[in-house]
Chains A and B, each alone.
Chain A
Amino acid sequence: MHLETSLLEGGIKQIKLVGRLDVKGAGEIDDAFLIQAATKKAGVLVDMAEVNFIASIGVRMLLSSAKALVRRGGKMILLNPTPMVNEVLTSSGVDELIPVSHDFEAACEDLKAAVSE
């Protein structure tokens, strides 16, 4: 499991997650993900398209970083989860707490608006 970060137009931080978000995968990236996602106010777009598996520990990793980010006035959006990963997010109620989008442009606009408020 690894992550790749990039800075998009408007100061949005994109974090691409790649691999299995299970006990091993979450253990490999959770510190780096928290640092990248939640140490300052920002719009954070988490690209989930290459996450092929997610377990409850991965769900908790996303929730804890989103919580820290929101406390700093930022916002997180999960982008393009695969259908099966999306179903876990829905089954866990995560989609009610962290927006899930399949529209890159709309997600970026949403994040820009959220952090400029």
Chain B
Amino acid sequence: MPIRSSDSAKTDPVIYTLTLQNELDELTRLGQWINGVAEQLSLSDKDTFRLDLTLAEAVANIIKYAYVDTKSHQITITVCHQPAQTSVDIIDDGQPFDPLKHPKVSFPRDLDEASKGGLGIHLIRTYADECFYERNENANILKMIFYSTDEDNDVPSKI
């Protein structure tokens, strides 16, 4: 459900929030949700793909690697849309982990080298225009910012 801080101001941000459990099956719900949000916001196919991909990668990493117990945890995703940009905050209560400090992936020279990890974080860095990480008390907060593109100007910038 989108939230507008004021109906009168056309440039007020539109905010959507989703809470997921730390289970891989939740990635399907995440994909359906972000595609629905993008459709409501009339985002370009390119911008929709960028949100879909980076969220899928970031949340999959959290579900797979952030928790050292077997308890149920919540992951909260907030999308804040303004005409020029969309920001996404992902909050989890897992182990402290700054994905932006993860070593940059080196491309494999041949197929024998090709099974190394780190590709998901590489895609996040590639497809988001800006990324910020913050540890706040017991929460990891990853913020990704996407400048709005049109279909004719769709090359993602690298950070």
Contacts and interface: CB of A to CB of B under 8 A. Distances in A.
A97 B108 contact: yes
Nearest to B124: A56
Contacts, number: 64
A60 interface: yes
Interface residues of B, number: 27
Contacts of A87: 156
Given A20-B31, A24-B28, A56 B57 contact: yes
A91 B126 contact: yes
A24 B122 CA distance: 21
Contact of A63 (B46, B60, B111, B127): B111
B158 to A, nearest CB: 9
20 contacts: A23-B27, A23-B56, A24-B25, A55-B120, A56-B57, A56-B119, A57-B60, A63-B111, A64-B115, A66-B111, A70-B111, A84-B49, A91-B122, A91-B123, A91-B127, A92-B119, A92-B122, A93-B108, A96-B107, A97-B114
